[in-house]
Structure 1
Amino acid sequence: MILQKETPLFPKTKKIRHIDPESKREKILDTSLSLFVEKGYHRVSIPNIVEASGTSTGAIYNLFGNKENIALTLHQQLIEKFMHSFQGRLQNCTTTYAKLRAFSEVIYEQTETDPNCVEYMFFMRHCEFIPEVSPICMTEPFRVLREIIRDGMNCGDVRPGDFFTSAVSYTGAILRPVQLHLECMLPKPLMESAEDFYENAWAAIKA
């Protein structure tokens, strides 16, 4: 007698693998950021990003098209993130000093929490690999900073003069310690000396 094989009540179904494109996109961006900062943009290849991120070449090309677009996306996202934090601080500021300090505090806090982002945003020479982007000093956060300084001149808080030059003096006093911190050249942790740096930057331009 031949026994017929019983048909299972619940037939097996193929296990479908769900891939979250957004998670993959963020993984590629995070990995690329680390590699660009560590090795320099020109020393990083798509295969390097594939290996470090655990994604595929196809995924990178489908999501970004090429390495240049990864770099451009990173630049845009980091500027937007910084501007969002800066604008949030400005809502509670009424004086020129407080507004400028808000700018400085966001930079220093991001330096502590995400140094790769700060190094990529402020200190890499983007014009060498994404020439279509504006220099960092011409991006939205710095445009707002210059407006604050110009308004400060108009109300007597900031010394009269060229507001662009004053903005350079202020940001230079803030960003140089950040650069030294990232190079491990500061004798003390950045935040331990932050108050001195804020005051020195303000002293360079105040009336």
Structure 2
Amino acid sequence: MKQKHQQDIPNKRQQILDAAYVIFSRKGYHRATVDEIIALADTGKGTVYNYFVNKEQLFYTLIQEKSMPFEIDLQRLVKSEVEPLQKVEALIRLFLEFYGQNGDLWRVMMHEVRGFDVEGYSDFTVEERNKYQAWFHQSIGMIEEVLQEGRDKNVLRPCDMHRAAYGLFSAIVSIVFGGMVDSIEESAKTIADVFLHGVAKK
């Protein structure tokens, strides 16, 4: 009996996180309630608060756990021996895959980080927004690192790699959220080509 109870603990926690993903993605952070998550997870309020102090901690845990495999893949690619220009395309592919799978939740987070949700305001404090912004800075920093590697190897021209990384990130997110990704492979190639070579005739 004890063994079964121990096995149920991670399952119940995951059940709560799965329910939170659905509710936050559908309703946004502000309009989502812990009671709705409890109902969907088919659990008790006490069980939820055994794992999570409040709604914000639940949301942040969800963001962390959803992004962890992506971050590991991203870091592995950045540190790999792949050539910089090929690495740029591979990075774009990883971002497209990740945002394609988690776009609804990340759209909610982005609204909150900017200081407003779909109703025009945010429940996050400045400190909480800074915490989520750190995630974006880290991810975009990986793009910047690859671009700087390309500059160091003389395959990319000198420019502000920090701004370039933000520009590439913005393009990826806009294309995903705009519903313009029919094929991840083809979209990654197109974005990489336009970003690296432009659209002007040579």
Give the shorter-chain TM-score range: 0.7 to 0.9
CA–CA separation in structure 1 for the residues paired with 2:66 and 2:143: 17
2:184 equivalent among 171, 186, 191: 191
Task: Quote how far apart the aligned CAs of 1:120 are.
Answer: 5.2
In the superposition, the TM-score normalised over structure 1's length comes to: 0.75
Whole-Å separation in 2 of the counterparts to 1:166 and 1:193: 22
Question: Is this contact kept in 1: 2:100–2:176, CA < 8 A?
Answer: no
Instruction: Report the residue type matching 2:96 in the other structure.
Output: Y
Question: Cα gap change, 1:97/1:16 in structure 2, threshold over 3 Å: closer, same or farther?
Answer: closer
Provide the residue aligned with 1:34 in structure 2: 22
What is the root-mean-square deviation of aligned Cα atoms in Å?
2.7
Deviates more, 1:48-57 or 1:19-28: 19-28
Alignment partner of 1:25 out of 13, 34, 51: 13
Query: Separation in 1 of the partners of 2:99 and 2:136?
Result: 18
Deviation of 1:170 after TM superposition, in Å, equals: 1.8
SS in 2 for 1:55: coil
| Residue 138 (1) aligns with residue 137 (2) | yes
After superposition, the Cα gap between the structure-2 partners of 1:16 and 1:102, relative to the gap in structure 1 and judged at 3 Å, is closer
Please, which moves more after superposition, 101-110 or 15-24?
15-24
List gaps (5 residues or longer) in structure 1.
1-13
Residue 118 of structure 2 corresponds to: none
Structure 2 unaligned segments of length 5 or more: list them: 116-121
- Aligned residue runs from structure 1 range 147-166, under 5 A: 147-166=145-164
**TM-score (norm. length: structure 2):** 0.77
C-alpha separation between the residues in 2 aligned to 1:118 and 1:189? 20
Does the 8 Å contact 1:173/1:200 carry over to 2?
no
Q: Which amino acid aligns with 1:142?
A: I
Distance in 2, Cα, partners of 1:77 & 1:15 = 27
1:25-83 deviation per Cα after TM superposition (whole angstroms, max 9, x unaligned):
11111211221121110101111111111111001111011111101112222332211
Deviation of the 1:88 alpha carbon:
3.7
Residue equivalent to 1:180: 178
Match of 1:84 in 2: 72
- Residue 134 of structure 1 deviates from its aligned partner by 4.1
More helix by share: 2
1:7 alignment partner in structure 2: none
Cα contact 2:35–2:45 (8 A) shared by 1: yes
Q: Structure 1 residues 118, 145: CA separation in 2 closer, same or farther (over 3 Å shift)?
A: same
Asked which structure has the greater CA Rg, the reply is 1
Count of aligned pairs between the two proteins: 184
CA shift in 2, pair 1:180/1:147, >3 Å: same
- Work out the CA distance in 2 between the residues paired with 1:132 and 1:177: 25
Q: 1:75 to 1:165 in 2, by over 3 A?
A: same
Q: Which residue identity does 2:184 align to in structure 1?
A: M
The amino acid that maps onto 2:145 is: E
Task: Provide the identity percentage.
Answer: 23
Instruction: Report the counterpart of residue 194 of structure 2 in structure 1.
Output: 200
1:66 equivalenced with 2:57 (yes/no): no
